Structure 1
Amino acid sequence: MGITGLFQRLFKKGHKADVIQAPLTALGKLENGIRQHVDVQGSIYPTIRFAYSTSDLPEKAAHVVVEKRLKQFASPAVSILYLDGEPALEKQETHEDRSKNRSKALAAAAQNTELLAELIQNGQHVRKHHFADVENNLRKAFGWEISQRQGLVQYLRSQGWTVVESETEADVEIGRVCKPNDIVVSGDSDLLMYNNVNHLWRPWRKGQLLHYSVPDILKMFDLSRPQWTALGIVSANDYGKNISGLGIGSNFGIIKSLQGNDVPSLIQEYLHSELVALKTVDAN
């Protein structure tokens, strides 16, 4: 999710994000006035999918499951929850592709279910993978439309949470309102590239989070903030591919060599750099 390969690249090049083993304790130590902005879908989507795709789980119980997960790292006192709205224009094609993929997965799940029923009816041997095929395709087919989120929004607000229903993607809204000392929680690496986001808590494992400090990253890689933003723009992400043959590693090297002082000039330098020009010619 976000910029392709960014987290892996940071790790490979020696940047070790700090492990937050007790998120609520860390949250309680924040200075007054610092807020935590939570990209709900970007942080706990597997929990959402489980809660709202379990057929025997009542809607209220599903809301409770989601809130319980949020409470592992967030608090109504300092946290603001953000839910996605309509896809931004530049992500419309990606949204449509995902919708098509969900439809294909749903059709495949129906076929798998029919096969499973036929095997059982005929007294034939049913293997574990027959059940797994149904489950995997149903998981891929899960979609959480805006109208389906309203129940959760109302429930969370009734429990004292501040919930923002974003006009487009949550990361856009968070990037707009976040202050330099605030904390952002998301698994979406795009949020690392917003100019006023300095601290990202990325959900990890066993309730732990990874803390990415943008100032520390810039210092380690000797990059300016405009260079960092430009890297995010030219690299592949959810809604656009990079120039063929130029992954995050190549782009790191190119951007670091540029001399521009602002993002527009850096992008122009990037597009006219020898390697990018060569790759562009080869692609044509």
Structure 2
Amino acid sequence: MARLDRTLAINEATVTINTMETQARQGQGIKNAAYKTVQRNLRASVPFAESVKKELVAAMEKDKADEETIKIHLVQGEADLAIRSRARELATSTKLVVVVANDADYCLGPEIKWLLRPWGSRYIQYDIPTCLDKVALSRAQYQALGVVSHTDYSFNLPRLGIATNIKIIKAISD
């Protein structure tokens, strides 16, 4: 299955690149969506095999100085639920929970205090309680905003922007 997915991704990237080349030769503009299609398919064409993940985990565990500093958990499939569950466990044991992720919906859980998001070669640190204070939202309102705004999979309230969503949610009490 992975080999088929990889082949499909390479084929789609190749077709898109050829189309872009033709458009460039004809002096036509190239739409941003074409670049995104190529980027997405090139990323999908590079397999991240289970053996490679295990080697990475072994290297990270070998380098960590303190057993309590870094915990590495491998999960099958979508990791959101497993990470949220583990973060909840750690939060109840008075551990500071820091999530490093490109995926913004991690910070919706009440146990997440900080979120580190990659930004180029650096990380942006979000202190979630401070962010909530700045936008004047409670944790419950923030979670509702995450549901109605664009998350991983869907726009749950189509055609409404973030400002409209915030106004609606602020009008609703906890």
Flag whether TM exceeds 0.5 (same fold). yes
Percent identical: 31
Partner Cα separation in structure 2 for residue 222 and residue 111 of structure 1: 47
Match of 2:170 among 252, 256, 264: 256
Work out which of the residue numbers 226, 231, 237 in structure 1 matches 2:140: 226
Q: State how 1:1-150 maps to structure 2 within 5 Å.
A: 103-109=7-13, 138-146=42-50, 148-150=52-54
* 1:247 matches 2:145: no
Residue of structure 2 equivalent to 1:238? 152
Is 1:216 the counterpart of 2:120? The answer is: no
List gaps (5 residues or longer) in structure 2: 18-34, 65-69
Aligned residues: 141
Taking a change above 3 Å as real, the CA distance of residues 105 and 226 of structure 1, as seen in their structure-2 partners, is: same
> Matched residues in 2 for 1:112 and 1:254: separation?
41
Mark the structure with the bigger radius of gyration. 1
RMSD: 3.3
Task: Tell me if structure 1 keeps the 8 A contact 2:115–2:125.
Answer: yes
Residue 27 of structure 2 corresponds to none
Q: How far does residue 231 in structure 1 lie from its aligned partner after superposition?
A: 1.1
SS of 1:107's partner is helix
Task: Indicate conservation of the 8 Å contact 1:175/1:191, yes or no.
Answer: yes
Asked if structure 2 preserves the Cα contact closer than 8 Å seen for 1:236 and 1:247, the reply is: no
Please point out which of 48, 54, 75 is paired with 1:166: 75
Report the counterpart of residue 104 of structure 2 in structure 1: 189
Shift of 1:146: 3.8
Shift, 1:109, TM fit: 5.0
Contact 2:101–2:116 (8 Å) recurs in 1: yes
Tell me the residue number matched to 1:177.
86
Residue 157 (str. 1) matches residue 61 (str. 2): yes
State which of 104, 115, 138 in structure 2 corresponds to 1:200.
115
* 3-state DSSP of counterpart to 2:72: strand
Spell out, residue by residue over 1:143-173, the C-alpha distance to the aligned partner (whole angstroms, 9 max, x if none): 4244552333334334456421124433323
Q: Would you say the 8 A contact 2:113–2:129 is kept in 1?
A: yes
Cα distance, 1:139 vs structure 2 = 3.8
